[in-house]
């Protein structure tokens, strides 16, 4: 179960193996991420899909080593170019963060300081990694702003964050992520708060990056439709574990895990207009009181006695991994 | 439904302006000509819209386009600066106070954030039971009445002694629905009512809305930025851009033969499960600030078909086919 995903054509930039991040709360231990493995290759977009509480965000934060107490990485390896980030010193991690690995958050104001001008923030970020003259740093900032499609970057540099719209702020946050041409970008729901037309603009920029610069992308979202349009591969998380992963076409056209197929079938466009939507019964699970064995079994139409044991992630088709004892039958395409 | 029957809700030339309240120094400075008087935001600008009894009207638009303001006026929570909101042909503002209060009960609103719209200090039984008790709608046992409301919204009445924070997001939205239905409305304004919910829970709530419509004959104004959801449950759709309705038609027409360039662009950008690794393109430019909307057609700076006329003259929303209204100068050329 160590090698969860097949080796891509090129060696992966990031390889996460059996990652466990738990939160030690007064009420008990929350296994937010519990044995997650995946890899991302250069130029590849991996969509990490899940609902709230599935552990997708904590997975991203773990890779960046941004998990704060009461949370802690309690096990597993995070191999970035073969180096285990989980073992790295905070100082060495700082050298990587924002330099070779960058993160884009759902709310751009997580990245931006409201009381500093954009140029101050970008130049500071450029000069944080390596000796650069202010002039060169400024030039790099202008370049990055232009790259994400901000018109008149020279002039906009001297503005404050509040003078930009939400979509523009998110673009600036992405520009900051791009400053050092990172090899890996972790994006946590970066377009969820944006309107469709703005979302399309940002997705267009992101696609170009992966294509032209070979940047690897870990795209964390709850939106299957965005993943369908953007990602090469997809991993679906439920209650801290990956329940299914594989090529986007494979997983979306032939989902094998009942949770994945339930998610896909509940999307309105998959149902006849006005007809009752197919729905997954029950609620998103409480991680403090997960059922023993398969965490999905209380909501699953196929659940049987065997599901009280923990199913392993097994390969059902080349490149498609499923964690289920009774996977859905493959439907004829 | 006979044609003679007036629409359940009719908005006639409704506008709503928001102006920042100035402090004294600002007012004095403005009077002395030192600074310009502050501009008002025209959140809703001359909207004509009808909702017929029993239908679901989807109202779509991007953030800041005024769709929530329009919804609040439709629900009677906000009065229009100009224009009239008619309910069954009658104006709330012109009714005697008692009649207006009773009439307002028939329009209820479901909000986006089910947590912010529930009083955290009240138990569910009180949240749901308070309004019908105050308005004397309960004959008989109040607890039995509350239980029935909760059950109808898909909640176990055994939980009615709990507080809102003890529920998940989807359950809280059900509490909001139970509260709205407890005063026996005939018209629900849902403002992004499923936007904050997880995908698997969203389907449950959409199904609940559709069941309630069949059971109770409800009429909906369903406000959403999610075109997939709107397409699924609406009979008619209105598209809003910067305070104005740019297109309104039956759902099949809007999604099958969109007329307005903005509608077309919006539909092209919706991510769909069926389109894989597509190349995203984008409508040029940003949503302009509602403080300084472009002259003429608000969409012209982003429109691929803009002509000189679009910069000068605002197009009128007019019928281009039976039941299909659009506000675009291009339709005059045909």
Q: Which residue has the higher pLDDT, B175 or A148?
A: B175
Residue A1 has pLDDT above 50, yes or no: no
Q: How far apart (Å, rounded) are the C-alpha atoms in residues B288 and B291?
A: 8
Q: Do A268 and B231 touch (CB under 8 A)?
A: yes
Span B184-213, mean pLDDT?
Answer: 90
Q: Do B199 and A270 touch (CB under 8 A)?
A: no
For residue A201, the chain B residues in CB contact (below 8 A) are 280, 282-283
Q: Using CB atoms, which residue from A52, A264, A270 is nearest to B198?
A: A52
pLDDT at B37: 64
For residue B286, the chain A residues in CB contact (below 8 A) are 165, 167-168, 198
Bridge partners, residue B239, by sequence: B60, B247
pLDDT at B235: 96
A43 lies in a domain? yes
Residue B22 has pLDDT above 80, yes or no: no
pLDDT at B334: 58
A301 lies in a domain? yes
Residue A3 has pLDDT above 60, yes or no: no
A18 lies in a domain? yes
A146 lies in a domain? no
pLDDT at A211: 85
Q: Which of A105-109, A208-212, B51-55, B71-75 has the lowest mean pLDDT?
A: A208-212
SS3 A43: coil
Residue A106 has pLDDT above 90, yes or no: no
Secondary structure letter of residue A97 according to DSSP: B
Residue B277, phi-psi category: left (phi > 0), alpha (psi -120 to 50), beta (remainder): left
For residue B210, the chain A residues in CB contact (below 8 A) are 274, 276
* pLDDT tens by residue, A17-74: 999 999 999 989 999 999 999 999 999 999 999 988 899 999 999 999 999 999 999 9
Confidence of residue B283 (pLDDT cuts 50, 70, 90): low
Confidence of residue B3 (pLDDT cuts 50, 70, 90): low
Q: What is the ipTM of this complex?
A: 0.80
Q: In a mutagenesis test of the A interface, which of B246, B254, B282, B289 is the best target, namely the one with the most A β-carbons within 10 Å?
A: B282
List, as one string, the DSSP characters of B202-245. HHHHHHHHHHHHHHH--EEEEEES-HHHHHHH-SEEEEEETTEE
| Contact status, residue B264 vs residue B299, Cβ threshold 8 Å | no
Residue B13, phi-psi category: left (phi > 0), alpha (psi -120 to 50), beta (remainder): left
Enter the pTM of the model: 0.86
Residue B113 has pLDDT above 70, yes or no: yes
Residue A5 has pLDDT above 80, yes or no: no
Q: Which domain holds residue A250?
A: 14-100+208-323
pLDDT at A248: 95
Angle at B278 between CA B275 and CA B283, to 5 degrees: 105
pLDDT at B1: 46
Q: Quote the minimal CA–CA distance from B327 to chain A in Å.
A: 20
For residue B198, the chain A residues in CB contact (below 8 A) are 51-52, 222, 284
pLDDT at B123: 95
Alpha helix segments (H runs only) across chain B: 24-31, 67-74, 97-105, 124-134, 142-152, 169-181, 199-216, 227-233, 251-256, 261-269, 308-312
Q: Which of A158-172, A239-253, B228-242 has the lowest mean pLDDT?
A: A158-172
E strands in chain A = 14-25, 28-40, 45-49, 71-80, 83-84, 101-104, 184-188, 216-221, 233-238, 241-247, 313-317, 320-323
Overall domain count for chain A = 1
A256 lies in a domain? yes
- Which CATH number is A242's domain given? 3.40.50.300
Residue A152 has pLDDT above 80, yes or no: yes
Q: Which residue has the higher pLDDT, A201 or A188?
A: A188
Confidence of residue A2 (pLDDT cuts 50, 70, 90): very low
* pLDDT tens by residue, B245-282: 999 999 999 999 999 999 999 898 888 888 777 777 66
Q: How far apart (Å, rounded) are the C-alpha atoms in residues A245 and A48?
A: 9
Residue of B104, B126, B73 whose CA lies nearest to B118: B126
A106 lies in a domain? no
**Does A203 touch chain B if contact means CB atoms closer than 8 Å?**
yes
Q: How far apart (Å, rounded) are the C-alpha atoms in residues B149 and A9?
A: 58
The winner for highest mean pLDDT among A134-138, A152-156, B37-41 is: A134-138
A8 lies in a domain? no
- The count of residues in chain A is 333
Which residue has 């007012």 as its token pair?
B27
**Mean pLDDT, all residues of chain A:** 89
A263 lies in a domain? yes
Q: In a mutagenesis test of the A interface, which of B262, B271, B284 is the best target, namely the one with the most A β-carbons within 10 Å?
A: B271
Q: How far apart (Å, rounded) are the C-alpha atoms in residues B249 and B65?
A: 19
């Amino acid at each position: 179960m160590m090698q969860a995903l097949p080796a891509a054509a090129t060696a992966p930039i990031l390889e996460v193996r059996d990652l466990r991040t738990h939160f030690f709360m007064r009420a008990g231990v929350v296994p937010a991420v519990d044995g997650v493995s995946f890899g991302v290759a250069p130029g590849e977009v991996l969509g990490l899909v899940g609902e709230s509480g599935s552990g997708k965000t904590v997975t991203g934060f773990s890779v960046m080593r941004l998990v704060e107490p009461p949370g802690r990485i309690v096990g597993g390896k995070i191999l970035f170019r073969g180096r285990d980030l989980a073992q790295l010193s905070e100082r060495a991690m700082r050298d990587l963060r924002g330099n070779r690995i960058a993160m884009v958050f759902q709310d751009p104001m997580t990245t931006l300081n409201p009381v500093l001008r954009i140029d101050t923030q970008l130049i500071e970020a450029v000069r944080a990694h390596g000796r650069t003259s202010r002039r060169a740093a400024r030039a790099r900032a202008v370049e990055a702003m232009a790259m994400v499609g901000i018109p008149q970057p020279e002039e906009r540099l001297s503005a404050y964050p509040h003078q930009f719209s939400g979509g523009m702020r998110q673009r600036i946050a992405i520009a900051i992520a791009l400053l050092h041409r990172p090899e890996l970008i972790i994006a946590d729901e970066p377009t969820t708060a944006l309107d469709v037309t703005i979302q399309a603009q940002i997705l267009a920029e992101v696609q170009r990056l992966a294509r032209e610069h070979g940047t690897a992308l870990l795209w964390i979202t709850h939106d299957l439709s965005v993943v369908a349009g953007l990602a090469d591969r997809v991993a679906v998380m439920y209650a801290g574990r990956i329940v299914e992963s594989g090529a986007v076409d494979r997983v979306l056209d032939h989902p094998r895990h009942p949770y994945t197929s339930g998610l896909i079938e509940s999307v309105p466009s998959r149902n006849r207009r006005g007809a009752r939507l197919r729905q997954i019964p029950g609620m998103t699970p409480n991680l403090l009181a997960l059922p023993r064995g398969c965490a999905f079994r209380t909501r699953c139409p196929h659940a049987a006695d065997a599901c009280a044991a923990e199913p392993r992630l097994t390969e059902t088709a080349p490149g498609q991994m499923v964690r289920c004892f009774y996977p859905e039958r493959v439907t004829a395409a | 439904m006979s044609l003679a029957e007036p629409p359940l809700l009719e908005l006639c030339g409704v506008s709503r302006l928001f102006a920042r309240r100035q402090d004294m120094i600002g007012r004095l400075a403005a009077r002395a000509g030192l600074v310009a008087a502050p501009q008002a935001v025209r959140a809703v600008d001359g909207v004509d819209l009808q909702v017929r009894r029993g239908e679901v009207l989807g109202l779509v638009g991007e953030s800041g386009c005024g769709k929530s303001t329009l919804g609040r006026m439709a629900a009677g929570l906000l009065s229009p600066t100009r224009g009239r909101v008619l309910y069954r042909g009658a104006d709330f503002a012109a009714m005697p106070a008692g009649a207006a209060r009773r009439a307002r009960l028939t329009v209820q609103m479901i909000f986006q954030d089910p947590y912010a719209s529930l009083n955290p200090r009240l138990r569910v039984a009180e949240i749901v039971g308070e309004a019908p008790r105050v308005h004397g709608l309960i004959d008989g046992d109040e607890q039995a009445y509350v239980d029935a409301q909760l059950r109808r919204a898909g909640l176990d009445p055994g939980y009615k002694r709990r507080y809102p924070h003890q529920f998940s997001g989807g359950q809280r939205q059900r509490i909001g629905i139970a509260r709205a239905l407890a005063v026996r409305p005939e018209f629900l304004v849902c403002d992004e009512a499923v936007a904050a919910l997880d995908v698997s829970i969203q389907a449950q709530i959409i199904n609940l809305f559709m069941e309630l419509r069949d059971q109770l004959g409800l009429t909906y104004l369903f406000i959403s930025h999610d075109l997939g959801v709107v397409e699924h449950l609406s009979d008619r759709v209105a598209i809003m851009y910067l305070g104005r309705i740019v297109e309104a038609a039956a759902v099949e027409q809007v999604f099958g033969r969109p007329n307005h360039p903005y509608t077309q662009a919006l539909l092209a950008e919706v991510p769909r499960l069926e389109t894989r690794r597509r190349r995203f393109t984008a409508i040029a430019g940003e949503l302009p600030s509602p403080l300084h909307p472009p002259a003429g057609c608000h969409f012209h700076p982003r429109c691929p078909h803009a002509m000189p006329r679009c910069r000068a003259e605002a197009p009128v929303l007019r019928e281009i086919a039976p039941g299909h209204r659009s506000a675009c100068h291009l339709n005059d050329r045909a």
